[in-house]
């Protein structure tokens, strides 16, 4: 008889919080990384990111869709952890404690990573992509 192994709380929360954070900020991280490796020009990187935002700089429909998908990834991680944990023979108090810890870790780590990626991509756009865009368009500053 094979016994199921308890899911690792830290690995589980890392996997889903990183996935959710990257998904939520994909609109900015993807063009920054593609620009960084020379696969996208500054003009195209800016237009790609602009697709997700309104003209005033606030989040547009595309950005909100990505954020909603990120929340769904986090919720799916919690759901699958709970389902996997229920297959294991551990007491209900411990299961509840593990689930609460998972939710807290995933939420805090996911939001922290999202905000870090957002700050990094804003800095990278201002420092590297916007000057490249201006150079490509021959705009003097």
In a domain, 2, yes or no: no
Using pLDDT thresholds of 50, 70 and 90, give the confidence band for residue 85: confident
What's the structural domain count of the chain? 1
pLDDT at residue 101, as a whole number: 94
In a domain, 51, yes or no: yes
pLDDT at residue 1, as a whole number: 43
Residue 74 lies in domain: 10-137
User: What does the pLDDT average to over 118-133?
Assistant: 92
Q: Kindly tell me the burial class for residue 141, based on how many C-beta atoms sit within 10 Å of its own C-beta (0-12, 13-18, 19 or more).
A: exposed
Mean pLDDT of the chain: 88
In a domain, 3, yes or no: no
Separation of alpha carbons 17 and 60, rounded Å: 23
In a domain, 98, yes or no: yes
Number of neighbours of residue 125 by Cβ within 10 angstroms? 21
Between the alpha carbon of residue 74 and those of residues 67, 123, 128, 134, the distances in Å are: 11, 26, 32, 38
The answer, yes or no, to whether residue 2 has pLDDT greater than 70, is no
The percentage of the chain sitting over the pLDDT mark of 70, rounded to a whole number, equals 94
The answer to whether the CB of 42 falls within 8 A of the CB of 136 is yes
The answer to whether the CB of 120 falls within 8 A of the CB of 21 is no
């Amino acid at each position: 008889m094979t016994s199921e192994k308890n899911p690792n709380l830290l690995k589980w929360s890392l996997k889903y919080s990183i996935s959710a954070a990257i998904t939520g900020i994909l609109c900015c991280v993807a063009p920054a990384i593609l620009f960084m490796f020379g696969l996208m020009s500054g003009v195209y990187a800016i237009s790609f990111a602009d697709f997700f935002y309104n003209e005033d700089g606030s989040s547009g429909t595309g950005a909100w869709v990505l954020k909603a998908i990120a929340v769904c990834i986090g919720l799916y991680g919690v759901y699958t952890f709970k389902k996997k944990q229920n297959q294991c023979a551990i007491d209900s108090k411990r299961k509840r404690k593990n689930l609460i810890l998972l939710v807290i870790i995933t939420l805090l780590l996911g939001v922290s990573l999202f905000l870090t990626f957002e700050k990094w991509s804003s800095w990278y756009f201002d420092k590297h992509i916007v000057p490249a865009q201006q150079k490509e368009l021959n705009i003097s500053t």
